[in-house]
Chains A and B, each alone.
Chain A
Amino acid sequence: MTTTVSIDVASCKTLAPYVLRPPRDARPRAARKTVRKKEMAVEPNDKQALNITMSAHLTAVAERRDVAAFEELFRYYGPRVRAYMARLARDGQLAEELMQETMMAVWNKSAQYSPDKGNVSTWIFTIARNLRIDAYRKANRPGFDPNDPAFVPADTAPADQTLEGMEDAARLHEAMAQLPSEQLQLLKLSFFDEASHGTIAETLGIPLGTVKSRIRLAFAKLRSTLEDKQ
């Protein structure tokens, strides 16, 4: 199967169906306060709307090779993926290249995204993470294969996974904001700086056992928030 796509840069701007969140300063005063106090703005309904919009863009890329939709994804995720890459790359050029690689993979693998798995941010995070492992460790990342005949599927499939995925992501943002700051800090160090828990313990000057128990507490809290929703 071959699809020819003609790309018209000028038309990309006009089709944008989604207005990106305004820059930080333009947000209402109340929202800015939340940012300072809890380190991040948490507006679950916003997050859910964002997920739904991004999911629609990604589906449009997969189904129609829609360049305008891809630009929306790029405008939102590009700078975030670049920030993620920059946490390990001291060299801004390398972070830019890895971000471009990630966005190319988003374009090329869009057919593998399934809206019933929900969250675009998570899907893009996994692509970026794997590219980062590849770039910095020159190592493979072994992963399981749900199509493998030896794969053991879960007993129950939720009735409406799409909505559930979207709601979960929104609730998760809410739950993360409620975590004690030392637990949130640990999660950020783990995900962004790709530091082993031993290294994190050394950096923070706390015992490894404390790192492990904070991780356990954090995920216990996040899990219970998602389980409580019924």
Chain B
Amino acid sequence: MSIVHHLDDDVLLEYATGTLAEGWSIAVATHLALCPHCRERYELMELTGGALLDTLEPVPASPDSWTALMARLQDETGAQPAAATPAVPPNGGQPVLPEPLRSYVGSDVDGIAWKSLPGAAQFLIPTSDGETMVRLLRIPAGKPVPEHTHRGREFTLVLSGAFSDGEDVFRRGDIEVADSSLMHTPVATPDADCICLAVTDAPLKFKSWMVRMVQPMLGI
């Protein structure tokens, strides 16, 4: 079944330009690993970046720039270009988690130390951006996605199983990009547990946003 829920141009562009924070970028890069369609669009954006680099008004390098670089080349000529290391399949089979997600998790799905939540299990993935919360969720077949806040931005990428969100079904590789305006209640389809990557605004950020929202109502 091919992917039907894709990334928008503006999210892809923020990833291509380097603006998108690490947490969101994990979801984008993992979707790109699974989705040739978005990859092709993304490649056009990188091509655009290269073309724009050509159009930049050159800023002359420092006069001794080339000499300095030559000195470094001489120092580092022992260093060989790193050969691309092909990733080894964990069990010789096809992993459920593609790169870069698998490296962030530290193993494929069968090695995950799930922590139980009411109605689901989760695995937190640490990042250094300080603005996102990134985790894997395992939702039992037929059950709703827990702790669904409907607030702030939210990326949900399906890795196995599927969830249904009203009329739409999201399967492996499909990504849902939601913001606070989207009212929805995703539910895992009844045939199998659903494992997905969920990226949201970090709780602290969310809390301050909540306070701002609540303040007018409390009259403070």
Interface residues of chain A, those whose CB is within 8 Å of chain B, are 1-5, 7, 9, 39-40, 47, 50, 62, 65, 67, 70-71, 74, 77-84, 86, 95-96, 99-100, 103-104, 107-112, 119-126, 128-130, 132-133, 137-145, 147-155, 168-169, 172-173, 176, 187-188, 190-192, 194-197, 211-212, 215-216, 219, 222-223, 226
Contacts and interface: CB of A to CB of B under 8 A. Distances in A.
Q: Is the interface on chain B under 10, 10 to 19, 20 to 34, or 35 or more residues?
A: 35 or more
A128 to B, nearest CB: 7
Contacts of A107: 73, 76
Contacts of A172: 44, 47-48, 51
A5 to B, nearest CB: 5
B54 A139 contact: no
B36 interface: yes
Given A83-B58, A145-B87, 10 more contacts: A3-B77, A71-B66, A79-B59, A79-B61, A80-B53, A96-B65, A122-B51, A144-B39, A147-B85, A197-B14
Secondary structure at chain A's binding surface: helix, strand, loop or mixed?
helix
Interface in B37-54: 39-41, 44-54
Contacts of A142: 22, 25-26, 29-30, 100, 104
B128 interface: yes
Contact of B44 (A154, A173, A219): A219
24 contacts: A67-B70, A71-B66, A77-B53, A83-B56, A84-B53, A84-B56, A86-B59, A95-B59, A99-B65, A100-B69, A107-B73, A112-B81, A129-B18, A133-B18, A139-B22, A142-B104, A144-B33, A144-B100, A147-B84, A148-B33, A152-B35, A187-B48, A197-B13, A216-B9
Contacts of B34: 150-152
Interface of B: 8-10, 13-14, 16-19, 21-22, 25-26, 29-30, 32-36, 39-41, 44-62, 65-70, 72-74, 76-87, 89, 93-100, 102, 104, 127-129, 173
Given A112-B81, A129-B18, A152 B36 contact: yes
Given A145-B87, A191-B49, A152 B33 contact: yes
Given A142-B100, A173-B54, A154 B77 contact: no
Contact of A150 (B33, B39, B66, B78): B33
Given A65-B77, A95-B59, A212-B8, A149 B66 contact: no
A222 B48 contact: yes
Nearest to A24: B57
A96 B61 CA distance: 7
Nearest to B82: A109
A79 B22 CA distance: 29
Contacts, number: 238
Given A9-B70, A121-B51, A3 B128 contact: no
B33 A79 contact: no
Contacts of A226: 44
Contacts of B65: 78, 96, 99-100
Interface hub of B18, B46, B65, B89 (most chain A Cβ within 10 A): B18
B107 to A, nearest CB: 13
A82 B66 CA distance: 13
B91 to A, nearest CB: 10
A123 B56 contact: no
A151 B34 CA distance: 6
B54 A80 contact: yes
B25 A149 contact: no
B100 A145 contact: yes
Contacts of A120: 50
